[in-house]
Amino acid sequence: MIEYPPKILIAFGEAVNENKEIHKWLLSNGYPELAALASAIHCSDEAIQWLMKNKYPHFAALSYAIFDDKKARKWLVEHKYQFLIILAEASQGDKKAHKWLLENNLELFSRMCKKIDMYRIRKLDDLSDYHKFHP
**What is the per-residue DSSP string for the chain?**
-TTS-HHHHHHHHHHHTT-HHHHHHHHHTT-HHHHHHHHHHTT-HHHHHHHHHTT-HHHHHHHHHTTT-HHHHHHHHHTT-HHHHHHHHHTTT-HHHHHHHHHTT-HHHHHHHHHHHHHHHHHHHHHH-HHHH--
Output the pTM of the full model: 0.89
Tens of pLDDT, residues 49-78:
999 999 999 999 999 999 999 999 999 999
Question: Considering the domain boundaries, does residue 134 fall inside one?
Answer: no
The pLDDT of residue 1 is 87
- The Cα–Cα gap between 95 and 2 comes to 20
Tens of pLDDT, residues 20-50:
999 999 999 999 999 999 999 999 999 999 9
Question: Considering the domain boundaries, does residue 100 fall inside one?
Answer: yes
Question: Considering the domain boundaries, does residue 50 fall inside one?
Answer: yes
What is the count of structural domains for the chain? 1
- When pLDDT is averaged across residues 116-128 and rounded to a whole number, the result is 78
Question: Considering the domain boundaries, does residue 48 fall inside one?
Answer: yes
- The Cα–Cα gap between 40 and 61 comes to 10
Question: Considering the domain boundaries, does residue 132 fall inside one?
Answer: no
- The Cα–Cα gap between 129 and 80 comes to 36
Question: Considering the domain boundaries, does residue 1 fall inside one?
Answer: no
Q: Is the pLDDT of residue 124 over 60?
A: yes
Question: Considering the domain boundaries, does residue 62 fall inside one?
Answer: yes
